[in-house]
Amino acid sequence: MLCRSARYSLISILLASAALAGPQITIPFVLEKNAGQVDPQVRYFGRAQGAALWLMDSGAVLSVDRKDRRAVLRMKLEGARPHPRIDGTEPLAGKTNYFIGNDPAQWKRDIGQYGAVRYQNAYPGVDLLFHASAQTIEYDWIVSPGADPRAIRMSFQGASETRIGSSGDLVLRIGDVEVREKRPHIFQDSHEVQGRFVRRGRSIGFEIANYDRSRTLTIDPVLTYATYLGGSGNAPNQLGDIAYGVAMDAQGNAIIIGQTASTNFPAQNGLFTDPGAPLNVFVTKVNPSAPVGGASIVWSTYLGGSKYATQGYGVAADSSGSIYATGVTVAPDFPLKNPFQSSFNTATNCATVQGSQVLCSMAFVTKLLSSGN
């Protein structure tokens, strides 16, 4: 019996780029059988916000649209059965219909939707199970009693770099995105088994210590949280959206600080949700346990003046969850409350702009509540 919590979630990282590119609306990622809607090589496929997944006999292909480019990653099952049995499982209530063109004979009605797809005996005695959830696709390896997990060999096409780090993590780089799979969690029921990623030629597999071969084995690498964070626009002559600091609070949330020149940076539930100056600080609180994408943001706020630039460089959290942000600003109207120093020093750290306007830089230190507002 498969433990549903055992999931191999490499693909979820890529979906974050689509989730943060626009309004924070969750569209379920479901899988449907190919009844002629797409290329006949595809057995099952799914679509979500700016993303698509195709499941074929040889493996899986994921594409994600991000602004003006598309990231594509293919996981190929090296040495696997050329035509495994692939079945949709966990049927959902929804149906898909395609009424395209004026020939009713070409219409496709009542195509079933599924929460999972299972490759039976992808390798001898080894099943591959894909799961669909709100914004992610995840997959597990289930090794039946007596089967050999060393048969599993995966290659990743589209990744510019594939390596196993010193900590045992599998690291894939797709353009400017790094996907990191933690050293795998391998278990039988509640009993943990030692194991790790290994290279086998140009493929990636698993090396596993002694275990009870009379029972089912589950291989479950864990994805280290990663996501895009930013908007779509840059102010003139600025560097764009850059993160400079990160901290963790007592609840395990990540607090990120940096600068943004985007007017559509994902600011929500925070102190300031509308940008003022062309360049602002952003402070964002992210829950790594939430689904990757917009749902991960607990709150996010702009911080700065109404006209001139502010940049954030450091962040920390105390035991109560309060956030401390620091950086530099040239905005005389930077928001102050209970200030240690309330006057903007115009005697030092100043520069003349366009021959007349004098701008002065000052450090700031701001305390935000754990709620961000």
What pLDDT is stored for residue 130 in this prediction? 87
Residue 315 has pLDDT above 80, yes or no: yes
What pLDDT is stored for residue 3 in this prediction? 39
Higher pLDDT among residues 368 and 22, named by residue: 368
Residue 122 pLDDT level (bands cut at 50, 70, 90): very high
Within a 10 A sphere around the Cβ of 274, how many other Cβ atoms?
Answer: 7
Residue 119 pLDDT level (bands cut at 50, 70, 90): very high
- How far is 323 from 249, CA to CA, in rounded Å? 8
| Structural contact between residues 216 and 188, judged by C-beta atoms closer than 8 angstroms | yes
Q: Which of 370, 243, 359 is nearest to 309 (CA)?
A: 359
Q: Long-range contact list for 169-175, CB < 8 A, 24+ apart?
A: 169/197, 169/224, 170/197, 170/204, 170/221, 172/10, 172/73, 174/14, 174/71, 174/73, 175/69, 175/71
Q: Residue ranges of the domains in the chain?
A: 12-220, 242-368
**Sheet of 254-260, strand order:** 242-248, 254-260, 280-286, 297-303
Residue 15 pLDDT level (bands cut at 50, 70, 90): very low
Residue 229 has pLDDT above 80, yes or no: no
CA 42 to the chain's CA centroid = 25
| Structural contact between residues 263 and 282, judged by C-beta atoms closer than 8 angstroms | no
Higher pLDDT among residues 68 and 152, named by residue: 152
Higher pLDDT among residues 88 and 289, named by residue: 88
Burial state string for 11-45 with b = 16 or more CB within 10 A and e = fewer than 16:
bbbbbbbbbbbeeeeeeebbbbbbeeeeeeebbbb
List, for residues 35-62, the tens digit of each pLDDT value: 888 899 999 998 766 678 899 999 998 8
Q: Which of 307, 363, 358 is nearest to 339 (CA)?
A: 363
Residue 185 pLDDT level (bands cut at 50, 70, 90): confident
Using alpha carbons only, what angle is made at residue 59 by residues 53 and 65, rounded to the nearest 5 degrees? 25
